[in-house]
Chain A
Amino acid sequence: MTPAIDLLRLKDKHAGAPPADGRPVIIAVTASNRRLVHDRCRRAERSGVQPGMPLAQALAVLRAPRVVERVPRRERALLRALAQRMLRFSPVVAPEPPDALLVDIAGCEHLFGGEAPMLARVRAQLARWGLTARVSVAPSPALAWALARFAHDAHLACPNGQAAAALAPLPLAALRLEPKAHQALAELRVERVEQLVALGRTGVARRFGLQVLLRLDQALGLAHHWTEAIVPERPLRCAVDFEGPTTRTETVQAAARAMLCDLCAQLLARGLGASELTMSFARCDLEPVELGLTLTRPSAAPAHLWRLLRDRVASLHMGFGVEGVRARAFRTAPLRTRQGTLEQGDRANGTTDEPTCEPTRNQRWHELLDALATRLGPARVCTLERHDSHDPARCVRRRSVLDAPDAHPAPHPAPHATPHPAPHATPHLASCPARQHRPSQLFEPALPAQVIAATPDGPIHVLRWRDHAGPVLTCVGPERIEGEWWRVATPHGLRAADGQSGHDYFKIQDDRGVWLWVSRALDDGRWSVRGAWA
């Protein structure tokens, strides 16, 4: 059976959706300080925009085009994703960067009623995804590639046995020759493949190299054309169904653990770690129970995941019995692995409960954060991050560790790495006052206080707060910090809302020796203790 290959050419891949607003789309690329047209949509093509044209020229030709910058990484990802989707037509799909897909439909076409209906379906499907593609069928991959690019629309499908006839009228670029050979042939005014064939094989091989003949043979299906087919991505899930409902805790736990191990083995095979996963327990006559798990860092260690889930599985409400257990990884990320030692390599298969190698301190740290966040709740384990504000109560924000996966201390620097500066040296940190002028602890909320001062703006002499009242030994201040007037604008002008006005801050030492940060609101004169140097 002759392999027939489809070849797709992606055009509007950057635009995502087809341009509904009717504006032409140009993909721009910056090459040596010039902005050039990398690719264009059909409309722009009709207006005469060609790849390689300066962008300024294209902008002059078109009316209000949409210019998109080329992102090669995104192109590759899109091609891979499209290859996964094309698996519905054939099990063998090979991406051919930068913009082609080879689909081996040998033996698949009868499932769709033949070659022509299949091509129609492929085209329709691609159009539904918003992609403009040229789809061709040929006995060899190289010919299909050439036909999709250079053939006339009426000759996109090449029947078996007519490869030579289909190839003959194509331009020489269809063979993808080396630039040197291509240029040498062009100097001889060899423009089409049939002219090259007419030169004779021996002469061509001697004058332009064997590679030209190889390309020709590949296009004719006489030589092999190597492609790399993608591996079908199965969804990361595994499930087990019991023969009947069970209420035995041990059975359910063992099944859950086995599913976790299976899932981790799948993850490890792809070099991934799960950062969000769920375990679902199907119950008899009841809705299933979902146990979700979010991690601070992707992990594929079954022992660690089981430690986090064990208590929750043990306290599961099983109802009339559990019928099945399934595990699914929702969000994954590449796993940063470390090479183990030689003797560790033997047990490093990931399917056992033992860790593949001794976890690093960094791994242990993240496992601890996972354990804390799972048991206490994500809101109760948080990091601090700076916020751009001069208000002392608002310049630091708390954030759950699960929301800020990269907010932790950097892992231990590699031995060859130079000691990096502090990772949290944000620019506005420098504008903050020196840290000795800020208390070590901030009371949230501020505690109300009563104060006796000789003069309204003068130093404080007596302070009363909590259950303590006494004279003030030292009073430093005031330091006035205005509120953020831009946060609330009242109808009467730019007056801050309650609790957001400016404050006069005093650093005082009470008669017990404790240094406190006392403030007076500027709008209503309320006194409060804001923090302490404890």
Chain B
Amino acid sequence: MNPYTDSTARPDLEALLGSTAASFQAFEGLAASHSNTTHAHTYRTSHAHTFPRPTPGSVHEWLLDTNHTLTSPTSPTTPTTPTTPTTPTTSNNWLAPITMLAWLAAGTPSSTSSTRPSSARPSSTRPRRVLWIGRRVWPYLPALPRALHAPILVDPPDLRQRIWAIDAALRCPGVDAVVADASGLDLTATRRAQLAAAAGRTIGLLARPISELRALSAACSRWRLTPTTSTSTCSPTTTTTDCAPGWHAELLRCKGVRPTQGAHRWRVRIDHETGDVRVADDPGDRPVEAQGQARGRTAG
């Protein structure tokens, strides 16, 4: 029942989680695939293939970090002074990581995680019932995976109604996943969402602006996505369609898991043949300043 059941790899987890392990089960990707690894480094690399999938009854926060330019890797950033964005994103124009959220909401296993038996997800062929709450996270239908081709878009007029809609949707057992604009949600609202998701056994995927990176939250996990540069074949004069958007996904914090420095990183990109999200084999490198911030953040 423990999300990180590999007690050999994480000997401290059992003691940490204790009897409440069941309530902390937020992902199934980590627990499923790893073998006897004894070192933190091998633990990390062995999981680069499989992206952890959220399990029903949990709420996760996703932040897309677009504050840093990729062309200036020498920006002065130290672990003690974490955030000095080159172009500060105001609260109004932030982007929600819709591609990743749609992929997680679709619930199909990634193409690289072929080790999982297909019978584990018998319901992946039927259309998923997913609500998209808030205009900020409304997707564009032609880019959605086939399983999400019957979305319900909700447009709450204000924050209060948005919180109510998120709560009502998460509490409904008929819903598979809820993707919501969670900007402005405080600790109470996220606690409410987490309790509602636990009651309805639904998956909550909350998109928040990067300015709320340090906001208090009761969500099971918080992730940060940082855009990566494309492959080297892309240049300002490229005319091929070979370049695909990609991100570093970074698990900033997760309930029940001791914060470790840079331990949970994946590299994902849109597969340019299928359009699906693909988890890269190697975690890859991130921009220098982002790594520095991650170090400072996960310690707190």
A positions within 8 Å CB-CB of B: 360-369, 371-372, 375-376, 380-384, 386, 392, 395-396, 398, 401, 407-410, 412-413, 419, 422-424, 432-442, 458-461, 466-468, 470-477, 507, 509, 511-515, 531-534
> Any chain A CB within 8 A of the CB of B165?
yes
From the candidates A384, A413, A434, A476, name the one contacting B153 in the complex (CB within 8 A).
Answer: A384
Tell me the smallest distance from the CB of B171 to a CB of chain A, in Å: 8
Asked if B127 and A436 make an inter-chain contact with CB atoms under 8 angstroms apart, the answer reads no
Tell me the smallest distance from the CB of A441 to a CB of chain B, in Å: 5
Q: A392 to B140, alpha carbons, bound, how many Å?
A: 9
Tell me the smallest distance from the CB of B58 to a CB of chain A, in Å: 19
Tell me the smallest distance from the CB of A445 to a CB of chain B, in Å: 12
Q: A261 to B174, alpha carbons, bound, how many Å?
A: 25
Asked if B87 and A380 make an inter-chain contact with CB atoms under 8 angstroms apart, the answer reads no
Tell me the smallest distance from the CB of B196 to a CB of chain A, in Å: 12
Asked if A439 and B68 make an inter-chain contact with CB atoms under 8 angstroms apart, the answer reads no
Q: A360 to B173, alpha carbons, bound, how many Å?
A: 9
Q: Offer 19 A-B interface pairs, CB within 8 angstroms, sorted by A.
A: A365-B174, A368-B174, A376-B155, A384-B141, A409-B128, A423-B127, A432-B142, A436-B270, A437-B241, A438-B140, A442-B140, A459-B239, A476-B241, A477-B239, A507-B241, A507-B243, A511-B69, A513-B70, A515-B245
Asked if A513 and B154 make an inter-chain contact with CB atoms under 8 angstroms apart, the answer reads no
Chain A residue nearest to B230 in the complex (CB): A474
Q: Which 9 A-B pairs have the closest CB atoms?
A: A513-B227, A365-B174, A436-B275, A364-B174, A409-B127, A534-B95, A361-B174, A368-B172, A533-B245
From the candidates A364, A395, A471, name the one contacting B173 in the complex (CB within 8 A).
Answer: A364
Please name all residues of chain A whose beta carbon is closer than 8 Å to the beta carbon of B274 when the two chains form the complex. Answer: 436
Could you count the A-B residue pairs with CB atoms below 8 Å apart for me: how many are there? Answer: 200
CB contact list, B154-174 vs A, under 8 A: 154-157, 161, 164-165, 168-169, 172-174
Q: A288 to B263, alpha carbons, bound, how many Å?
A: 65
> Any chain A CB within 8 A of the CB of B272?
yes
Q: With A408-B150, A531-B140 given, is the CB distance from A513 to B229 under 8 Å?
A: yes
Please name all residues of chain A whose beta carbon is closer than 8 Å to the beta carbon of B149 when the two chains form the complex. Answer: 422, 424
From the candidates A362, A438, A511, name the one contacting B143 in the complex (CB within 8 A).
Answer: A438
Chain A residue nearest to B68 in the complex (CB): A512
From the candidates A372, A381, A435, A437, name the one contacting B144 in the complex (CB within 8 A).
Answer: A435
Asked if B87 and A468 make an inter-chain contact with CB atoms under 8 angstroms apart, the answer reads yes
Tell me the smallest distance from the CB of A339 to a CB of chain B, in Å: 20
Q: A244 to B90, alpha carbons, bound, how many Å?
A: 59
List 5 extra interface pairs beyond A365-B172, A423-B150, CB under 8 A.
Answer: A368-B174, A381-B154, A435-B145, A474-B235, A507-B243
> Any chain A CB within 8 A of the CB of B96?
yes
Please name all residues of chain A whose beta carbon is closer than 8 Å to the beta carbon of B172 when the two chains form the complex. Answer: 364-365, 367-368
Please name all residues of chain A whose beta carbon is closer than 8 Å to the beta carbon of B175 when the two chains form the complex. Answer: 365, 368
Q: A375 to B169, alpha carbons, bound, how many Å?
A: 13
CB contact list, B118-141 vs A, under 8 A: 125-129, 138-141
Tell me the smallest distance from the CB of B179 to a CB of chain A, in Å: 11
Asked if A440 and B69 make an inter-chain contact with CB atoms under 8 angstroms apart, the answer reads no
Asked if A511 and B165 make an inter-chain contact with CB atoms under 8 angstroms apart, the answer reads no
CB contact list, B272-291 vs A, under 8 A: 272-275
From the candidates B66, B87, B168, B245, name the one contacting A371 in the complex (CB within 8 A).
Answer: B168
Tell me the smallest distance from the CB of B286 to a CB of chain A, in Å: 11
